[in-house]
Amino acid sequence: MNETISLCYHGVSPSWPDAMAVTQQQLHSQVAWFMRRGYRPVTVREAARPGGGKRLAITFDDALLSVHELALPVLERLGAIATVYAPSVPIAEQTPMAWPEVARHLQTEHARELEPMTAGQLRAVAAQGWEVGSHTRTHPWLPRVADDGELRHELEGSKRELEALLELELATLAYPFGAHDERVAAATAAAGYEAAVTLPVRVPAWPAQPSAHELMRLPRIGVYRVDEWRRFRVKVARPVRLLRASSLWDLVRRG
């Protein structure tokens, strides 16, 4: 069987009650479950290319410090690799993630959860076979960036800045919040990315031989703290994935 599945995580934390963070136990059992079923962990760059077998592209958006501290040891133990999507400005300036959707956490005891990985940590995971991709410069909703020059700066600028900082080539991008439209996808391709990943409500199957159009819209399944074992199993079960790919999903959600 040929099948590729991509999971989208953010942070890993034993105590942060936010949807963005799973526990180490959740991450371990979820990845181990796929690996027991013969899925081979690959980077998004590899998953975007035609290839056989069962492939699992694990991704972490935002390049939070907890990915290095807590996710990396879990994946090392499992012999798995992942792709981490870094916003270039917080990484370069070593400032916490502070866009409006997460800034409220900075006033709480969980503020440290928004600390970024360091450039050295990103270089180190890349040396272990992980992929580092771009998550733009400042993590805006890209479709709302009306100015073309500003949009290009978020896409090209983040690639250029991270490539210089990390001495790596960046090949793929994750749209912040998964948000994209025709204009954003076209600008992403024009900025030199081979592929880009999304976070759709309706998750289509990962294309076996992606077209140029599909390469800028590769779908991931978001995994959150509420995804306890049973819920996760239901979420990734093939019939549910097929259902989520169809228009029936809207009816189910409404029901």
CB 62 to Zn ion: min, Å: 4
User: For Zn ion, which is the closer residue by CB, 62 or 156?
Assistant: 62
User: For Zn ion, which is the closer residue by CB, 39 or 117?
Assistant: 117
Q: What DSSP string describes 145-173? A: ---HHHHHIIIIIHHHHHHHHHT----EE
User: For Zn ion, which is the closer residue by CB, 41 or 133?
Assistant: 133
d(CA 142, CA 153): 11
CB 89 to Zn ion: min, Å: 13
Binding residues (CB under 5 A) for Zn ion: these are 61-62, 176
Task: Report the residue closest to Zn ion, judged by CB.
Answer: 61
d(CA 230, CA 232): 5
In a 3-state reduction of DSSP, which class is residue 88? helix
Angle of helix 119-127 versus helix 158-166 axis, rounded to 10:
80
CB 174 to Zn ion: min, Å: 7
C-alpha dihedral, 25 to 42 to 179 to 68, nearest 10°: 50
User: For Zn ion, which is the closer residue by CB, 3 or 18?
Assistant: 18
CB 116 to Zn ion: min, Å: 12
